[in-house]
Every structure is written in C-alpha cells, then in structure tokens.
A and B are shown apart, each in its own frame.
Chain A
Amino acid sequence: MTVWQALGGRGYLRSAWPWRSVAFLASGALFGAVVLVGIVAGVAVGAATAVVLVGLPLLVLTALAGIPVAAVERWRVRTAGVGAAPAGAHRVPDAPGLARWLVVRLKEPETWRELAYAVLLALVLWPLDALVVTFAAGVPLFLLATPLLVAVEGEAKVVKLWTVDTWPAATGAALAGGVLLLAGAYVLGVAAGARAQVVKALLGARGHDSARVAELVRSRVRLVDAFEAERRRIERDLHDGAQQRLVALTMRLGLARLDVPPGPLADQLATAHGEAEKALAELRELIHGIHPKVLADYGLEAAVADAADRSAIPVDVHLDLPGRLSQPVESAAYFVVCEALANVGRHSGASRAVVSGGHDEGRLTLEVRDDGRGGADLAGGTGLTGLADRVSVLDGRLFLSSPPGGPTLLRVEIPCRPTEPCA
C-alpha cells in the first residue's frame, strides 16, 4: 500500500499515513541539508587542495557521494512506505579489489545518475521538503498553540505577520490552525507521495528494461536447450540409421569382393568398397563433432582427454573434477576446449598445449594455454564469440589473454554443482 491509496481511503486522517508522510519529508529535509554541507565541503576542500594532490582522492570520493545518498533515499522510501520502493542497478565488479571496484563505479552511468540526484537533493529537493513541512504541519501547529502562547507570554506572532494578543483572536487562530492541520495532513500525504515518485523516477532501476533482459536471457536459455536437444536427435538418427546402413553396405561389398574373380568387376567393387568406407569414416567424424558419446557416457574428464588425443599437437591434460556436472555445463565446457584446441592447432603455431582445470567454490574453471605466437582475438573469430555466448547463458564467463608473441591463455568459469551420475 502506498500513501496514494491511503489518501483515497476514508480513514486517512486517523491512520499513521500523515505521521509517516511528515517523518519522510522532515527526514528528507534534514538529510538534504547534511548532503549539501557534505558536497560543498568536499568540492571546496578538494578543489583547494587539488594542486597538492591530496584533494584528488577527496574529489573522487565526492563524485562517489551519490551512491550512499541514493542508498539512504531508497531506504527512506522503503521504510516510510510512501511509494513503490525503487531498486538500484549497480554492476557487480568482475574481480575483487578496491581498484577494480572504483573503475567499475566510475565507468557506469548509475554512479553519475546517483550523483546528479544527490546534487538535486542538496539544491532543490530538501528546501521543498522543509517548506512543505513548515507550512502544512508547522504553521497549523503554531496556530493551534496560539492560546497557550497568549496565556504564557501575553502575545503571539502568527507567521511573523500579525500579532495576536486578545483571546477572541487567539481562539480564532487556534480554530483556523485546527482546520489547516486537517488540510495539511492531506497536503503532507500528497507531497510525500510526489517526493517518493521523484526518488523512484530518478533512482529506480529501469524496471521495464530489466524485465525484458530477464525475458531475453530466458529465451536464450530455451534456445540453447532446444539446440542441444536437436543435436542429440540428429546424432541418434545418424547413428541408428545412416551409419548402420553404411556399415551393412561396406560389409556386403567386402563379402562380394571375396566371391568375384579378378578382373574389371573386381576393380569396380574394390573402388565402391573404398568409397563406402571413406563415407563411413567421414560420417563417423561428423557424428563425433555433433555430440561425442564419450561426453554423455563418461563425462567431461574423459571427453577432454579424448579431444586431447585427437588434437594435432601434443596436449597435456590436468583435470580434477569431483564427478559429473550438469549436462549443459559439460557440453559447453567440452565445446570450449575443442574449439580452443582447434584454434591452437590451426592458428597458434604452438608446439604444445595444456588443458587444466577443476571445480572450486561452486564453479568449474577450465584453462587452455599454449606456447604459440598469441594475437588471438575474441572479436576476430566467430567460433570463440559463439562459445562466449553459450557460456554466458550459463552465467559463466570466458576470458582470453593473447598478447602478440604469446602465450595464449583461454579461461572459462561456469558456476555449477556436481551432480550424481545418471544411471
């Protein structure tokens, strides 16, 4: 429930909403004043001492001031409940360390959006908050207190304009104060609601966008799943259909050759036999590339060892996995290794490669390094970009370090848990 809904209801005046609104606005005025002092002091001292370099960190700190300010503002909206609580959209740094955090913060628009809000709060919003509280709550309360002041001090100055010193005037002022207080309660509610709206508009995550991003990620996951299922279907169809027929055909051709006396016919048969065998070998490689059986049956370690065996250059494998991983993870990791080894064989000029990896702290880490000439580029090859996409669907990441002159290091991290081997 927000203050807007409460304002429409009948029990608004008797509810806690006017109190919440005034607390929200008053705390906003106080906080805004503090922010103003902080920013002015930060900029002034920072600029003054920038020449001696002490001020620069202070200026950076001031630039980051929007982050805690925004956090407090979001917290105020959430706690007072006057409007829909907005959520921030800061990025999570991809590596630990203060320096990395600083770079990410200073680079992302969210930080500057929040700083802009802090400045707006310091210059515009908090005086408005204070004004509303003063006129909608302060003045009516003062009017209500007029008789008391007259009794104690003999006179009271109403809004610094006119002096009340008679009882009838004081009673009138008190009555007016009561009416104004009731009206003010509504004004406070409206102001608090509007103020929360401002916070939400300026500090809220782009809600619509994030919903769409989530939907996009989901649809990508579905697409990859469908793609995997299709691979398996094709692999099975080729296995149980075309391959079996070709094997039967080569066998019959082989048997026929035994019965045919030497001559042109025997030569023809021999050629046909050879062709069929070649087709069979090609089909076998094709099926293996689509989805290797050993990956399904024995898991990632065996499949990577197998890929290493097939590689054109010598490959050492040091893998230490706790067991089987989920099927999409194994599949993505395997194809990353295959693509990396294919690239090593094709482009790197390396004489040796090492595949190492393990499972630690809930994530699978795989590294493929070679001693080649380097210069590989994620943007250059379509293969690696496609793999990066597949890995990112699993919330994983793919890093490539390949300075000219080498060596090249490809690293994949995928969060996952070991699974029980399926029977």
Chain B
Amino acid sequence: MTVARFWRKIPNRYNLIGTHCTTCGEHYFPPRQMCPTCRRDGKMEDHKFEGKGKVVTYTVIHTAAKGYEMQTPYNLAIIKLDEGPSLTGQVVCDQNEMEIGMRVRSVFRKLGEESEKGMIYYGTKFIPE
C-alpha cells in the first residue's frame, strides 16, 4: 500500500475511529462518508469505538499475503464490535484458543512493513478479552 493511502487513514487505524449516523443511529467501521441506510439524508460524525466485541468467524492463515509470510500461521477474524459494525482483523493468541463467539478487545500493534527500509504499518489487532 502506498504511503499516502496509509497515512490518510492513520487516526482511524490507530484509534478505531469510525463514523456514526446521527439520523438513523447506525455506527460504521471502517468509516463511511455516506450512510448506506439514509444515504444523503444521513448526518455523519466521527465515533471512537470502545474496541470490544466478539468473533463472528475466523480462519488460521497458513499461506500468507505478501509481506505477512513471517507471521504464519496467524489468526484472522471478522469481529463484531459491541456498537454494531464488523471489521476484519488479526487475533493474537494461540490458534487453538480461537472459537466463534469469543470475546476480544483491541490492541495497538505493528501490522507489517513494506520492506527492510520501507514504511512500518501500525494499526489495530485484537486479543482475547
């Protein structure tokens, strides 16, 4: 991912800041500029999520994405935050601990890096609560 594209989202990535539609009350993460329910009638504001939620589903990745080879096997999950929206993220724990429905909370972690001299990506991962 290019540096510019990553930097643009840094506050959201580092602090789990999404959006909240004040018209219908729905929360969104990743952030959206337009509410899919209210569309142009929706009034959006930033919303910082608590970072707590539960695992909807997960996998243990053995064949990694580019740049993630050193991390295999790693746990990837869809996590439903308590405020409503779901997101994709890694869960840092033993793969045998993983189960659907488990409670997790967000932590600040290194996600990856471009190359030895490249940019290091930080963001949110999850650990068992």
Is chain B found bound to chain A in the same assembly?
A: no
